[in-house]
Amino acid sequence: MLEGRRIALGVCGSVAAYKAADLVSKLQQAGALVDVILTERAAEFVRPLTFASLSHRPVYADLWEPTGEAAARHIELGQAAEALIIAPATANTIARLAHGMADDLLTNVALVTSAPLLIAPAMEGHMYTHPATQANLRTLEARGAIIIPPEVGHLASGEVGVGRFPETATLLAHIRRALARTGDLVGRRVVVTAGGTREPIDPVRYVGNHSSGLMGFALAEEARDRGAEVTLIVGAASAPIPFGMTVIHVGSALEMRDAVLKAIAGADALVMAAAVADYRVEHPADHKIKKGSREENADGTLTLHLIPNPDILKEVAASPAAPGLIRVGFAAETHDLAANATGKLHKKKLDMLVANDVTKSGSGFGVETNEVAIYHADGRIEQLALLPKTEVAAAIWDRVAPLLRTR
């Protein structure tokens, strides 16, 4: 979604200015056209050449350059930008922006542009919490700016406090979200489940599965990037939790069922990518089971009696909470893929079932790729190639978006 998008990046005179170079690099790798605008002070921290080398584009700094070209530049840059992100933003530039000053190229561009303005403050803790800085940030926020909160951690001053420049991934997620204001899921509420459930045996043990959460996270991020308001219900997952959505953490299948039934109220689509346990331990012990304890059989073995978990998608189909909800299920199979997939699609009254054979290499748990077949309610079956999970996610929303328009 960043391919070909014009992003203006303002960099201010902060020690964190060098970190903006990584942001430029990642944006460029994702195909964005990045116009870097340095304040005069920023150029003292990192030379323009660093940014030009990474963005493969000219870097702008001097409003008063003698050629006169710059005279129109602030207008062109401001009009072309699809998002203006100022990262790192100094206390000084935040104050200038809050007061509508236009004394350098960056502040001029900020006044010209009608694109979303994102501000990532980075400074020493007292400067950040100072009432003046806070009041300026609130002023900008009230005008529609998106303030990316600084993180708590080690600051350049040697102290630990608030004011640390966020990780590149966080900044990228904010930019994607700002650009998503025009996506095909704008105004839609979607619920995505991800990760595996954990069925307690006792307070310290559980029955689980190998789900990493990657597929569900890719789906949630793709929906966010297309403008949806996303609720992500996540069980156990090893991949990092995505940003820019409502995240609900659950443990067992029963907790996931409750969270899903609550979250679908008023939702437009539900995509169940979580690996939900079919069975749970009937009576989890309330204490840690030890060798020789009363749970043990006479021959020293231990028996776990498993009972079926509720079928969440079936309950969703019967729920009156979300009439017209588009429902997409996942089936991870090891054999009889087609028969199992078709059976599940009809039994659970789904609009789509995404089936994958988890025994195939490059498909299923813990890997970045997936090879899936999409079974549609009208009987169509589409076999997709082996793709990165991000592209599988895009393919799924490509098919859900038109269905949403029909309901």
Ligand X SMILES: Cc1cc2nc3c(=O)[nH]c(=O)nc-3n(C[C@H](O)[C@H](O)[C@H](O)COP(=O)(O)O)c2cc1C
Residue 90 vs 113, nearer CB to ligand X: 90
Residue 136 vs 390, nearer CB to ligand X: 136
Q: Which residues face 329 on adjacent strands?
A: 272, 353
Q: Which stretch binds ligand X (CB under 6 A): 8-16, 250-258, 343-351, 374-382?
A: 8-16
Residue 89 vs 269, nearer CB to ligand X: 89
Site membership for ligand X, residue 107 (CB under 6 A): no
Residues of span 180-209 touching ligand X by CB under 6 A: none
Site membership for ligand X, residue 39 (CB under 6 A): yes
Element spanning 21, H or E: helix 17-29
Residue 122 vs 230, nearer CB to ligand X: 122
Q: Which stretch binds ligand X (CB under 6 A): 37-45, 72-80, 176-184, 341-349?
A: 37-45
Site membership for ligand X, residue 13 (CB under 6 A): yes
b/e code 146-166 from CB counts within 10 Å (16+ = b): bbbebeeeebeeeeebbbbbb
* Alpha helices per DSSP H over 164-323: 168-179, 214-225, 253-263, 312-318
The C-alpha atoms of residue 280 and residue 295 are separated, in whole angstroms, by 17
User: Taking a C-beta distance cutoff of 8 angstroms, is the pair 74, 112 a contact?
Assistant: yes
Among 282, 353, 370, residue whose Cα is nearest residue 313 = 353
Least Å distance, CB 20 to ligand X, is 12
Which listed residue (1, 15, 101, 386) binds ligand X by CB under 6 A?
15
Q: Give residue for tokens 């966020």.
A: 166
Site membership for ligand X, residue 97 (CB under 6 A): no
Set 92, 108, 136, 209: catalytic member: 209
User: Taking a C-beta distance cutoff of 8 angstroms, is the pair 369, 363 a contact?
Assistant: yes
- Is 356 a catalytic site residue? no
Site membership for ligand X, residue 122 (CB under 6 A): yes
User: Taking a C-beta distance cutoff of 8 angstroms, is the pair 63, 32 a contact?
Assistant: no
Q: Give residue for tokens 């702008």.
A: 60
Least Å distance, CB 181 to ligand X, is 27
The C-alpha atoms of residue 281 and residue 2 are separated, in whole angstroms, by 46
Residue 39 vs 356, nearer CB to ligand X: 39
The C-alpha atoms of residue 299 and residue 316 are separated, in whole angstroms, by 43
Site membership for ligand X, residue 259 (CB under 6 A): no
Burial of 76 (0-12, 13-18, 19+ CB in 10 A): middle
Which listed residue (25, 28, 92, 340) binds ligand X by CB under 6 A?
92
Structure letter (DSSP) for residue 187: T
Site membership for ligand X, residue 90 (CB under 6 A): yes
Residue 167 vs 295, nearer CB to ligand X: 167
Site membership for ligand X, residue 43 (CB under 6 A): no
Structure letter (DSSP) for residue 251: -
If DSSP codes are grouped into helix, strand and coil, which group holds residue 56?
coil
Q: Which stretch binds ligand X (CB under 6 A): 38-46, 61-69, 108-116, 146-154?
A: 38-46
Least Å distance, CB 14 to ligand X, is 3
Site membership for ligand X, residue 140 (CB under 6 A): no
Active site residues: 209
- Give the residues lining the site for ligand X (CB under 6 A): 12-16, 39, 41-42, 90-93, 122-123, 127
